[in-house]
């Protein structure tokens, strides 16, 4: 099969054949049709001449009533002209004279009709119908077609001869291409057409010169590749060393520890953490801190005289020791005690100052889950302020909580990515009218199966992760968007951490401006966390008040609560903590505290809100004490969708 994609010559010949054939066929049919029309028109013109010649004679004889002369004329004309098959004269609807040849039925013809007018007048005295044969026209057309076919055949022969010539002309190029298809820089060959003086010869000679240049370049490239391979191998070794070695201490790192741990049949692992190393860095600088880490690593390395334990830089201020066997509890306790004593007696210098380090260690006996278990033991030792702790089976609850925390961190990221962090809304009710004044926006997370998770499950974990600011920002944006076309007030909880976070504060300002909700928004500052950076909080509250927002102190009455806060901050609401409210109907102390808060708030013209109102008894009691607004399950549970029209 002809490969048109690969062969240029084949494509040229193929397209030349297509164009030539199309041209021949097009010319033939064009000229044939044009010729037919020309011959047909010529025959009609001849018929016109004959008719116009005999028409005056017929008109005169017909006008004089000489019918016999009319018959004689049409008979003579019909016999003398082979193309006229018959003539008929009609007057007043009657045939006056007619003559038809016998073979008229076998012929193709056309009829020409003319009006016979009285001499020297336009008055019609009859009509003449002339039957004219196409026989002469057909003879002309056949003769013309034969001549045309001969002409076109000659053109076709010329095209074929030209194609053969073109194929021979391109044949050297094909042979050159065939030779080049087997070319390699290591193989030298000459072209058989290089002695020709035409373009093919010049192409061949140019290719031979190029071949020498390519061969020289390939040799240089081959040498370069060898050098590069050596460099790559060298760099690979360096990178591998960097991957598994800590650059500061020269110790194997966490990656090497993981691989070594996997390769052992059994193991005992110790994680060593230098206590309060961050404070040392902050006090003396990171450069000094790095020197102490390197010196610490060298001192510990000097204590090890055998292949095991191996010593590693785990991360930051943490190191690890790995034994290649499962040690007994008494052995590992003895080792940890000795090691702790050795480290306590080490001295490090910063200029003329002597420094000592204290460490906390966590150990795990056994290979299975060693890294996680040793870390849990380390956390337990820090929690109980012990120099070391060995992982016990009873620590599984800590391990489970550790795993749960990891799962929640993953779930928080997934919830943010899939937009499953949503606000729920709990009504804040006017204590006198029992009608909603507004809503508190409460964070919820939707699970994979639609279940709802409250902050009780994830908030503390979130605060220790990098996702906490994003959660607060999502709540701010979605809450402002929900109430942008509402006349209800709505409140958003902000912790001291939120107020100190510039990105969260910026998101808050942008959302207030975008959704125009300044006059509806109440910012609830969670007071139970303690307000220590008073100037920062005061500046934030003042700025939000200038924008148009209102301020509430949340969870008031517990933790670090004191009335001094009320006097210093320009607040609008006090939300009395639920731990006081839920016992108000049965506990006199709770009643006294709430009464005191309400009385002071009224003197300062601050509205009060009682949280956790879960029964009619609690509602009646806080109402009796003068609380302005109530909130709790007695009136409404948090809901994802609420009415956005509030009538107090």
What pLDDT is stored for residue 452 in this prediction? Answer: 92
- Would residue 21 count as lying in a domain? yes
- Would residue 608 count as lying in a domain? yes
Domain boundary among 107, 122, 141: 141
What pLDDT is stored for residue 131 in this prediction? Answer: 79
- Would residue 91 count as lying in a domain? yes
- Would residue 180 count as lying in a domain? no
The pLDDT-based confidence of 508 (bands split at 50, 70, 90) is very high
Is 32 a residue whose pLDDT tops 70?
no
Strand 109-117 vs strand 124-133: parallel, antiparallel, or unpaired?
antiparallel
Q: Considering only residues 272 and 197, tell me which one the structure prediction assigns the higher pLDDT.
A: 272
Matching residue, tokens 């610490």 = 296
| Joined tokens for residue 432 | 């006198």
- Exposure of 332 in the CB half-sphere (CA atoms within 13 A): 26
**Helix, strand, coil percent values for the chain (each to nearest 5):** 55, 20, 25
Over residues 177-205, the mean pLDDT reads 71
| Joined tokens for residue 282 | 């902050």
Is 284 a residue whose pLDDT tops 80?
yes
Over residues 561-579, the mean pLDDT reads 78
The answer on 430 and 376 residing in a single domain is: no
Over residues 519-544, the mean pLDDT reads 80
On whether the CB atoms of residues 462 and 444 are closer than 8 A, the answer is no
Instruction: Return the minimum-mean-pLDDT range out of 312-326, 370-384, 528-542.
Output: 528-542
Q: Per the omega criterion (within 30 degrees of 0), is the bond before 618 cis?
A: no
Compute CA 477 distance to the chain's CA centroid, rounded to the nearest angstrom.
24
Strand boundaries in 165-309, DSSP class E: 268-274
Q: Considering only residues 210 and 595, tell me which one the structure prediction assigns the higher pLDDT.
A: 595
- Exposure of 533 in the CB half-sphere (CA atoms within 13 A): 11
The answer on 553 and 518 residing in a single domain is: yes
Q: Considering only residues 635 and 32, tell me which one the structure prediction assigns the higher pLDDT.
A: 635
Whole-number Å distance between alpha carbons of 174 and 76: 76
On whether the CB atoms of residues 172 and 200 are closer than 8 A, the answer is yes
Is 565 a residue whose pLDDT tops 80?
no
Is 481 a residue whose pLDDT tops 90?
yes
The pLDDT-based confidence of 579 (bands split at 50, 70, 90) is confident
Is 567 a residue whose pLDDT tops 70?
no
What pLDDT is stored for residue 396 in this prediction? Answer: 62
User: What DSSP state is assigned to residue 604?
Assistant: T
Domain boundary among 364, 391, 418: 391
Is 521 a residue whose pLDDT tops 90?
yes
| Joined tokens for residue 109 | 């013809």
The answer on 368 and 268 residing in a single domain is: yes
The answer on 600 and 551 residing in a single domain is: yes
What pLDDT is stored for residue 502 in this prediction? Answer: 92
Q: Specify the length of the chain in residues.
A: 648
CATH number at residue 314: 3.30.70.270
What pLDDT is stored for residue 298 in this prediction? Answer: 93
Q: What radius of gyration do the chain's Cα atoms show?
A: 55
The answer on 86 and 23 residing in a single domain is: yes
On whether the CB atoms of residues 544 and 525 are closer than 8 A, the answer is no
Is 629 a residue whose pLDDT tops 70?
yes
What pLDDT is stored for residue 2 in this prediction? Answer: 43
Matching residue, tokens 């006199």 = 588
The answer on 353 and 460 residing in a single domain is: no
On whether the CB atoms of residues 533 and 501 are closer than 8 A, the answer is no
Give the residue numbers spanning the domain of 438. Answer: 405-630
On whether the CB atoms of residues 170 and 10 are closer than 8 A, the answer is no
- Would residue 445 count as lying in a domain? yes
The answer on 313 and 218 residing in a single domain is: no
What pLDDT is stored for residue 1 in this prediction? Answer: 41
Over residues 362-375, the mean pLDDT reads 90
On whether the CB atoms of residues 462 and 471 are closer than 8 A, the answer is yes
Does the CA dihedral 58-60-66-72 come out positive or negative?
Answer: negative
Smallest Cα–Cα separation from 320: which of 252, 395, 388?
252
Q: What is the mean pLDDT of the chain?
A: 83
What pLDDT is stored for residue 105 in this prediction? Answer: 63
Is 16 a residue whose pLDDT tops 60?
yes
On whether the CB atoms of residues 91 and 117 are closer than 8 A, the answer is no
Q: Considering only residues 245 and 166, tell me which one the structure prediction assigns the higher pLDDT.
A: 245
Residue percentage of the chain with pLDDT more than 90: 35
Whole-number Å distance between alpha carbons of 366 and 372: 12
The answer on 81 and 109 residing in a single domain is: yes
Number of domains in the chain: 4
- Would residue 246 count as lying in a domain? no
The answer on 439 and 385 residing in a single domain is: no
- How far are the Cα atoms of 538, 548, 553, 554, 626 from residue 565, in angstroms, in the given order? 10, 21, 9, 12, 21
Over residues 219-244, the mean pLDDT reads 78
| Joined tokens for residue 534 | 């008073």
The answer on 409 and 385 residing in a single domain is: no
Domain boundary among 167, 200, 232: 232
The answer on 552 and 492 residing in a single domain is: yes
Residue percentage of the chain with pLDDT more than 70: 86
What pLDDT is stored for residue 4 in this prediction? Answer: 45
| pTM passes above 0.75 | no
Q: pLDDT for 60-115, tens place per residue?
A: 887 787 878 878 888 887 787 777 778 888 887 788 788 777 766 666 777 888 88
The pLDDT-based confidence of 399 (bands split at 50, 70, 90) is low
What lies within 8 Å, CB to CB, of 415 at 6+ separation is 421, 445, 446
- Report the helix count and the strand count for the chain, using DSSP H and E: 19, 20
The answer on 507 and 450 residing in a single domain is: yes
Q: Which of 194-203, 617-626, 639-648: highest mean pLDDT?
A: 617-626
On whether the CB atoms of residues 468 and 493 are closer than 8 A, the answer is no
Identify the H or E element spanning 129.
strand 124-133
- Would residue 570 count as lying in a domain? yes
Q: pLDDT for 407-422, tens place per residue?
A: 888 888 998 999 999 9
- Would residue 292 count as lying in a domain? yes
């Amino acid at each position: 099969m002809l490969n048109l994609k690969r062969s240029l010559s084949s494509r040229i010949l193929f397209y030349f054949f297509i164009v030539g054939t199309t041209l021949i066929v097009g010319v033939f049919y064009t000229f044939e049709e044009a010729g037919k029309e020309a011959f047909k028109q010529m025959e009609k013109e001849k018929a016109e001449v004959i008719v116009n010649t005999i028409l005056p004679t017929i008109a005169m004889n017909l006008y004089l009533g000489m019918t016999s002369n009319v018959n004689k004329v049409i008979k003579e004309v019909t016999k003398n002209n082979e193309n006229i098959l018959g003539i008929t004269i009609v007057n007043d609807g009657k045939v006056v004279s007619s003559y038809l040849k016998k073979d008229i039925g076998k012929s193709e013809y056309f009829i020409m009709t003319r009006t016979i007018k009285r001499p020297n007048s336009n008055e019609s005295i009859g009509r003449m119908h002339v039957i004219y044969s196409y026989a002469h026209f057909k003879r002309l057309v056949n003769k013309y077609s034969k001549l045309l076919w001969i002409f076109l055949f000659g053109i076709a022969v010329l095209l074929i001869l030209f194609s053969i010539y073109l194929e021979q002309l391109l044949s050297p190029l094909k042979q050159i291409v065939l030779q080049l298809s087997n070319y390699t820089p290591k193989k030298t060959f000459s072209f058989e057409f290089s002695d020709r003086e035409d373009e093919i010869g010049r192409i061949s000679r140019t290719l031979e010169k190029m071949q020498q240049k390519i061969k020289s370049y390939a040799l240089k490239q081959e040498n370069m590749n060898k050098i590069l391979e050596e460099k790559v191998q060298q760099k690979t070794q360096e990178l591998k060393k960097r991957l598994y070695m800590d650059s500061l201490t020269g110790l194997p790192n966490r990656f090497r520890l993981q691989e070594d741990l996997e390769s052992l049949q059994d193991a005992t692992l110790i994680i060593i953490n230098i206590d309060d190393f961050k404070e040392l860095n902050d006090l003396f600088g990171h450069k000094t801190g790095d020197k102490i880490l390197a010196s610490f690593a060298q001192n510990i390395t000097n204590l090890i005289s055998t292949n095991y334990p191996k010593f590693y830089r785990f991360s930051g201020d943490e190191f690890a020791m790995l034994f290649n066997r499962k040690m007994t509890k008494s052995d590992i306790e003895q080792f940890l005690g000795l090691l702790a004593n050795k480290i306590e007696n080490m001295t490090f210098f910063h200029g003329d100052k002597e420094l000592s380090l204290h460490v906390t260690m966590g150990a795990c006996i056994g290979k299975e889950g060693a890294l996680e278990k040793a870390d849990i033991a380390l956390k337990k030792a820090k929690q109980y302020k012990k120099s070391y702790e060995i992982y016990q089976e009873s620590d599984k609850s800590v391990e489970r909580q550790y795993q749960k925390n990891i799962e929640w961190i993953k779930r928080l990221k997934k919830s943010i990515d899939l937009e499953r962090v949503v606000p729920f809304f709990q009504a804040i009710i006017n204590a006198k009218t029992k009608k909603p004044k507004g809503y508190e926006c409460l964070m919820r997370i939707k699970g994979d199966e639609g279940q709802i998770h409250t902050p009780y499950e994830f908030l503390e974990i979130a605060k220790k992760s990098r996702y906490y600011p994003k959660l607060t920002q999502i709540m701010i944006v979605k809450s402002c968007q929900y109430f942008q076309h509402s006349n209800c007030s709505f409140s958003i909880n902000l912790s001291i951490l939120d107020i100190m976070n510039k990105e969260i504060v910026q998101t808050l300002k942008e959302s207030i401006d975008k959704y125009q909700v300044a006059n509806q928004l109440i910012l609830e500052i969670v007071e139970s966390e303690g307000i220590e950076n008073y100037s920062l909080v005061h500046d934030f509250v003042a700025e939000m008040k200038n924008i148009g927002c209102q301020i509430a102190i949340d969870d008031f009455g517990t933790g670090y609560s004191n009335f001094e806060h009320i006097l210093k901050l320009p607040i609008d609401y006090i939300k009395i903590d639920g731990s006081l409210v839920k016992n108000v109907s049965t506990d006199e102390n709770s009643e006294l505290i709430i009464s005191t808060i309400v009385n002071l708030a009224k003197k300062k013209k601050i509205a009060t809100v009682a949280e956790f109102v879960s029964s009619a008894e609690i509602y009646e009691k806080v109402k009796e004490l003068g609380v302005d607004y109530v909130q709790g399950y007695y009136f409404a549970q948090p809901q994802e969708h609420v009415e956005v029209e509030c009538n107090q």
